[in-house]
């Protein structure tokens, strides 16, 4: 039965992929001379894409707290696996920060480039300043930016301390930080949402799963009137405490 789910979903997602690549390409052509309109176009359809992906994979999302956050917020969350992107993308309209290697992935790289993803190259320390500047620009333009400050996927049993550098963008833009906790509910230990050691194996497990339940808890925003280290520590504590109470 699991392989039947996988085959059907691969076929469905191939169609979804093609449609949204076309939508993204059209946006780039239509709004070539108007970057602000292009970003609004992409932000809208990126959320539609995430919601459609959740439907294809039968990822059911429950939201706790107020998801109607202020435009131009820095959304930070714990990171478990690829479903985090679909779950958060379906919940919030915004742009993701992703590792630069994803831009070179076959096929999927096209989609993230068309989606104006902000890329972080962790192998180049001097690139951090550029990354902070790009995130700040998106925030100042009224767009939410979504990132995973653990800078790694975990198995969902804990949340590791956050890297503080990217929080500087919220300080410079004077925009709030919104901590968000993601929790998956299944009988697997670790959860099937966990990235694991093999991306292919991880994706196949998701494709074969009948459904995946997720809860997104939107925690109280944190004012950007703090320094980046304090913002990182407060965000980490809020998400860590919530996550451990769910797993307790």
Give 48's pLDDT tier (boundaries 50, 70, 90). very high
The pLDDT confidence band at residue 195, using thresholds 50, 70 and 90, is confident
Query: What is the average pLDDT score of the chain?
Result: 89
Report DSSP letters for 77-112, one per residue: E---STHHHHHHHHHS-EEEEEEGGGGGSTTHHHHH
Query: What's the pLDDT tens digit per position in 90-145?
Result: 999 999 998 777 766 666 666 777 788 888 876 666 788 889 999 999 999 999 99
d(CA 200, CA 197): 9
Handedness of CA 172, 173, 176, 179 (dihedral sign): negative
User: For position 115, what pLDDT does the model report?
Assistant: 82
Helix (H) / strand (E) element for 176: namely none
Whole-number pLDDT of residue 104? 67
For residue 184, the cross-strand partners are 214
Give the lowest-confidence range in 4-8, 58-62, 81-85, 166-170.
4-8
> Span 147-168, mean pLDDT?
92
- Looking at domain 2-247, its CATH class is alpha beta
Does pLDDT of 230 surpass 90? yes
DSSP-derived 3-state class of residue 60: strand
The reported pLDDT for the residue numbered 135 is 94
SS3 assignment, position 11: helix
Is the pLDDT assigned to residue 146 strictly greater than 80? Answer: yes
47 contacts: CB under 8 Å, gap ≥ 6: 89, 90, 92, 93
Length of the chain measured in residues = 248
Cα separations (Å) of 177 from 21, 40, 199, 227, 232? 30, 21, 30, 12, 9
pLDDT-above-70 percentage for the chain: 94
| Cα distance between residue 239 and residue 174, in whole Å | 21
pLDDT at 178 over 90: yes
Q: How far is CA 22 from CA 15, 25, 197, in A?
A: 11, 5, 32
151 band by pLDDT with thresholds 50, 70 and 90: confident
Q: Binning pLDDT at 50, 70 and 90, where does residue 28 land?
A: confident
pLDDT of residue 112: 78
Confidence check: pLDDT of 80 > 80: yes
Which tokens sit at 110? 């096209």
Query: Is pLDDT of 238 > 90?
Result: yes
Q: Are 221 and 177 in contact (CB under 8 A)?
A: yes
Q: Specify whether the CB–CB gap between 78 and 193 falls below 8 A.
A: no
| 156's tokens | 């969902």
Q: How confident is the model at residue 85 (pLDDT cuts 50, 70, 90)?
A: very high
Q: How many angstroms from the chain centroid is the CA of residue 56?
A: 18
């Amino acid at each position: 039965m699991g392989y039947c789910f996988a085959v059907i979903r691969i076929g469905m997602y191939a169609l979804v992929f093609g449609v949204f690549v076309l939508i993204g390409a059209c946006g780039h052509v239509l709004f070539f001379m108007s970057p602000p309109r292009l970003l609004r176009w992409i932000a809208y359809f990126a959320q539609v894409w995430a919601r459609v992906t959740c439907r294809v994979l039968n990822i059911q999302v429950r939201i706790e707290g107020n998801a109607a956050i202020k435009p131009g917020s820095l959304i930070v969350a714990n990171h478990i696996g690829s479903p985090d992107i679909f779950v958060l993308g379906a919940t919030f309209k915004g742009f993701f920060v992703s590792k630069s290697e994803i831009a070179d992935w076959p096929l999927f790289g096209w989609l993230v480039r068309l989606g104006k993803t902000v890329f972080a190259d962790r192998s180049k320390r001097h690139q951090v300043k550029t990354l902070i500047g790009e995130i700040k620009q998106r925030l100042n333009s009224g767009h939410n930016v979504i990132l995973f400050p653990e800078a790694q996927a975990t198995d969902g049993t804990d949340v590791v301390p956050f890297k503080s550098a990217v929080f500087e963008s919220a300080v410079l833009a004077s925009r709030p930080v919104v901590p968000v906790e993601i929790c998956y509910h299944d009988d697997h230990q670790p959860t099937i949402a966990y990235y694991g050691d093999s991306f292919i194996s991880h994706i196949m497990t998701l494709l074969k799963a009948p459904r995946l339940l997720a809860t997104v808890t939107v925690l109280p925003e944190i004012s950007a009137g703090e320094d980046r280290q304090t913002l990182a520590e407060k965000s980490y504590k809020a998400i860590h405490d919530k996550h451990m109470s769910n797993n307790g």
